[in-house]
Amino acid sequence: MPTNPLQGAQFVLAAHRVNQLPADEGAEVAFAGRSNAGKSSALNALTGHKGLARTSKTPGRTQQMVAFSLPPTRRGETSQAIETRLIDLPGYGYAKVPEAMREHWRHEIDAYLHVRRSLRGLVLIVDIRHPMKEFDRMMLDFCVATLLPCHVLLTKADKLSRNQAAQALAVLRKQFHASMPVSMQVFSSADGTGVDEARAAVARLLEGALRSDAFVGGGA
């Protein structure tokens, strides 16, 4: 069984605003998705820590930006170890969240994506059983426009047959050109489908290059 590169994740803090997050240094990968797409379950499966992210049968539980630390990584034998993190962004689109709260999170997620220099990539969580929603499209458009690498997890694949899941993946892949910074896979936290592949993808994102000044600090 492959070694888990995301093992050892630990809760650091929950932030209501971008400026409350850990210092903007090192490398981090953000997780985004609609509130019922299985984001917390995916985080728990990827880190091998069942209680890391809060899961609930009630969508919309993640209403802050939650930072999880990973063991520092070293690039090369002589290089200095760098701090690495996973950032769980608020679940988006849950109808019972007041409009003022939804607007606050739209602003904070936008600010986070634009200003965090330590952000190396985005993992977008999408329920494989449903077409992409407006939020999913907006996130992908942002990644393409700013060349921010994005890895899409088509979650809850255990709810479909293997053939249905493969067809859903093929349909989505046709919508993106090979030169775009978007990769995608079938995933299930329930039966472990694609977990090792997704761990490797997140590890590659964390090892990515520092974000260019050309794509940091701009507005929406």
Query: Where are the domains positioned within the chain?
Result: 10-74+81-212
Indicate left, alpha or beta for 98 from its phi (over 0: left) and psi (-120 to 50: alpha): beta
The pair of structure tokens assigned to 170 is 């093929």
| Distance from chain centroid for Cα 90 | 11
Rg of the chain on CA atoms, in Å:
16
Amino acid at 110: D
The pLDDT, as a whole number, for residue 212 is 62
Enclosing H/E stretch for 83? strand 82-88
Whole-angstrom CA distances from 27 to 20, 69, 139, 167, 187 are: 17, 10, 20, 34, 24
Question: In tens digits, what is the pLDDT along the chain, a chain of 220 residues?
Answer: 689 999 999 999 999 999 999 999 999 999 999 888 999 999 999 999 988 987 644 444 457 899 999 998 766 555 678 899 999 998 876 556 677 877 888 889 999 999 999 999 999 999 999 989 888 999 999 999 999 999 999 999 999 999 999 999 999 999 888 888 999 999 999 999 999 999 999 999 999 877 766 556 554 3
The pLDDT, as a whole number, for residue 64 is 86
Topology, domain 10-74+81-212: Rossmann fold (3.40.50)
148, 211 Cβ separation under 8 angstroms: yes
Q: What is the pLDDT of residue 220?
A: 39
Classify residue 187 by its DSSP letter: -
Best CA proximity match to 104, nearest among 92, 119, 88, 113: 92
Task: Count CB neighbours of 162 within 10 A.
Answer: 10
